[in-house]
Amino acid sequence: MILPGKTAISRGIILNLTNPTLQIQPCGIDLSLRKIFSWTSAGTVDFSNQFRAGSRKEQLEFTGTRTSSTSSSSSPKTKSIHLSAGNYMVEFHEEVNMPLDIMGQIFVRSSLWRMGALLSAGVMDSGYQGAVGGLLQVLNPHGIVLHEHARLAQMVFHVMAEKVEGGGYSGVYQGAKGL
């Protein structure tokens, strides 16, 4: 069973929404862009995490500004960034507090893939609490322009057949306040 977006909010599963009116969807919650990173080193993954080493990354800054074409000249300007074709890590404003009987999945919004970009992310395990992010792949050879707070993905919450035992997720990213 999939939880409606409004239910995920009322149960406290997803937090820190930028604009709930725009973000609540029938089958989930739209996730809004907070930060964009590029990688500056290789990472290491192994079976037991004995040799795990995270990749270093640098935050990319929103530098362009634009006033909405549909609003008055007194409307606030929004910051934007042009991303060339390539791979990026994105961090969303929203955080999750996954109950032991819920798991989450993140899907790209159709407006993003229609521009030539994809977004992938891992499963949000039951019991996970913390930051939400994903891998943004810009395939459009001309790149894309993203504005601060752009809605890039939708998170869908699935009710599991039973609660997980032992407290759920207990990995290194538990409680993360950022990527």
Predicted local confidence at residue 78, as pLDDT: 83
| Closest by CA position to 157, among listed 137, 179, 128 | 128
Predicted local confidence at residue 73, as pLDDT: 52
d(CA 63, CA 17): 23
User: Domain residues for 149?
Assistant: 5-40+60-66+77-159
d(CA 136, CA 116): 11
Whether residue 11 has pLDDT greater than 90: yes
Whether residue 92 is contained in a domain is answered as yes
- How crowded is residue 79: how many other Cβ atoms within 10 Å of its Cβ? 14
Q: Supply angle C-alpha 8, 92, 3, rounded to 5.
A: 15
Separation of CA 170 from chain center: 20
Whether residue 53 is contained in a domain is answered as no
Q: Do 83 and 143 meet the contact criterion of CB atoms below 8 Å apart? A: yes
Number of domains in the chain: 1
Whether residue 168 has pLDDT greater than 60: yes
| Closest by CA position to 30, among listed 107, 88, 82, 113 | 107
Whether residue 93 is contained in a domain is answered as yes
Whether residue 126 has pLDDT greater than 60: yes
DSSP characters over 61-109 = PP-EEE--TTS-TTSPPEEEEEE-SEEEEEEEEEEEE--TTEEEEEEE-
Q: Taking the CA atoms of 6, 10, 11 and 13 in sequence, report the sign of the dihedral they define.
A: positive
85: domain CATH number? 2.70.40.10
| Closest by CA position to 161, among listed 102, 98, 97 | 102
Whether residue 9 is contained in a domain is answered as yes
- What does the chain come to in residues? 179
Strand partners, 29: 24, 155
Predicted local confidence at residue 74, as pLDDT: 53
Mean pLDDT, residues 21-34 taken together: 97
